């Protein structure tokens, strides 16, 4: 048994990856939003997050921040911002997964970018941007149990005070609806 057009799709996928790597992130940032969202969906997880981060910084005219400073990814009006993204796929049980919020970093806000590909066949790709202060995320964590420490092995977490936080939720659940009402920012672009 074989999948139809698999070899052709495989070659096209890797040709696209190679072209993006050769052209660099500026190539992606100059694409229309829809083309950017389609192209980034085919990137590996690490590249995808970096591509989205760079795009958000560029289109919103924020200043990029060095990772060595532990002050997030961007700066806007003297506020330091950590950018995290999550992809919702058409696959069963796909959910929002945001990882790597470092409580010890000196940041003011989180910018969470959610891209929803579930209706890709109709040509519709939805995106959500949540802009939430560090204080509000702390409240969300305590009150609703959203941001939790990673599930590290006992050995890895023993004596380790710097364990990043992670968030899981589903589009449409009560937490997501609350975030849409409280933290959704339509004036920020992707």
What is the chain's mean pLDDT, rounded?
Answer: 85
Residue 45 C-alpha from the chain's centroid = 10
> Tell me: the pLDDT tens digits for 138-184?
888 888 777 666 666 666 666 667 777 788 888 888 989 999 999 99
Report pTM: 0.86
Domain boundaries, the chain: 6-183
Total Cβ atoms within 10 A of residue 175: 17
Fold of the CATH domain 6-183: PvuII Endonuclease; Chain A (3.40.210)
Cα gap 33→44, rounded to integer Å = 19
Do 97 and 21 form a contact (C-beta atoms < 8 A)?
no
Three-state DSSP class for residue 24: coil
């Amino acid at each position: 048994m074989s999948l139809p057009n698999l070899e052709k799709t495989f070659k096209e996928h890797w040709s696209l990856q190679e072209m993006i790597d050769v052209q660099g992130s500026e190539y992606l940032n100059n694409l229309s939003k829809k083309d950017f969202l389609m192209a980034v969906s085919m990137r590996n997880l690490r590249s995808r997050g970096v591509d989205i981060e760079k795009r958000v910084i560029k289109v919103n005219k924020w200043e990029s921040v060095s990772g060595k400073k532990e002050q997030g990814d961007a700066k806007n009006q003297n506020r330091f911002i950590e950018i995290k993204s999550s992809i919702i796929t058409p696959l069963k049980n796909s959910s929002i997964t945001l990882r790597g919020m470092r409580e010890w970093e000196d940041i003011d806000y989180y910018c969470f970018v959610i891209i929803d590909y579930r209706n890709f066949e109709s040509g519709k790709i939805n995106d959500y941007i949540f802009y939430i202060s560090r204080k509000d995320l702390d409240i969300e964590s305590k009150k609703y149990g959203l941001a939790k420490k990673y599930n590290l092995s006992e050995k890895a977490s023993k004596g380790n005070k710097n364990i990043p936080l992670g968030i899981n939720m589903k589009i449409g659940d009560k937490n997501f609806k609350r975030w849409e009402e409280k933290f959704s920012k339509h004036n920020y672009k992707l």
